[in-house]
Amino acid sequence: MSLIVHCKDVGFDCDGIVVAETEDDLLQQVAHHAQSLHGAETMTDEIIAKVKSVIRKE
């Protein structure tokens, strides 16, 4: 099973999808994606909570 986050579900206007096997890895990848593509400087607790709320499991 993979954990999947669609970037647009987090609130960005973006078709990006992040896939990982663990929640820690997923959050790291989302942080990297948000920082490199969306100029997000830090992952606030608010953003992390938002990401966790939109995780899909497939």
Query: What is each CA distance from 19 to 2, 8, 14, 23, in whole angstroms?
Result: 7, 14, 15, 10
Q: Which stretch binds Zn ion (CB under 5 A): 2-10, 19-27, 39-47, 50-58?
A: 2-10
10-29 footprint of Zn ion as x/- string (CB under 5 A): --x-x-x-------------
Binder to Zn ion among 7, 18, 26, 51 (CB under 5 A)? 7
Residues making contact with Zn ion (CB under 5 A): 7, 12, 14, 16
